[in-house]
Chain A
Amino acid sequence: DAGVIQSPRHEVTEMGQEVTLRCKPISGHDYLFWYRQTMMRGLELLIYFNNNVPIDDSGMPEDRFSAKMPNASFSTLKIQPSEPRDSAVYFCASSPKTGQGDGNTIYFGEGSWLTVV
């Protein structure tokens, strides 16, 4: 498998614009996570899905953030409108079902580096 695939890898956008980050998890994985990483706050769990269903979005910072998973192979994280403080690396990650061989392992994508100016 190619691993978790994220796009875009880098994005620079102006404040107020809509940003859409995309993720393709590893085939067969039941869990999908969105994390945000900054120097100040480290790796924050924003939201996670199980079998395409959002389970916990308590980490989503504001209503400006939304995430969807329309099918098992695709998820999006949208920021509208974007603000400079949203600048961060956004990681998508996936994990197999608990109890399966490596169900305790999270596989991260390479991240989407977002800069809002």
Chain B
Amino acid sequence: GQSLEQPSEVTAVEGAIVQINCTYQTSGFYGLSWYQQHDGGAPTFLSYNALDGLEETGRFSSFLSRSDSYGYLLLQELQMKDSASYFCAVRRGENNFNKFYFGSGTKLNVKP
């Protein structure tokens, strides 16, 4: 099986930096993804890390440490539109097939 843990809720102010952590336990680990979901919407892909280190995409960065089974999503220069739920997801490989399992999500509240 697998398990992912992330905080349920985070609050930050506009313009600030926020880090959302994710710890996981799984077999057949290939990589860690992050998805954003606005209320009433569908999850949308943000980033994927297969190797250790930091990946930067604009205001968003994602980090992975395979040895620690840990990753985080870093959001800089927060904007009101960043208020959403953020999910980490592990990609597991089983018999050459992909499976993606999601954490319970972190609700980010950005305040003015």
Contact = CB atoms under 8 A, between A and B. Distances in A.
Interface in B58-90: 87, 89
B103 A91 contact: no
A104 B48 contact: yes
Contact of B98 (A95, A108, A109): A95
Interface string B80-112: 000000010101001011111111110000000
A79 B87 CA distance: 27
A61 B45 CA distance: 26
Interface of A: 31, 33, 35, 42-43, 45, 48, 50, 55-56, 91, 95, 98, 103-111
24 contacts: A31-B98, A35-B102, A42-B87, A42-B103, A42-B104, A42-B105, A43-B43, A45-B102, A48-B97, A56-B94, A56-B97, A91-B42, A95-B98, A103-B98, A104-B30, A104-B31, A104-B48, A105-B33, A105-B45, A106-B89, A107-B45, A108-B42, A109-B42, A111-B42
What 6 pairs between A and B have smallest CB-CB spacing?
A: A43-B102, A108-B42, A42-B104, A104-B48, A105-B45, A108-B43
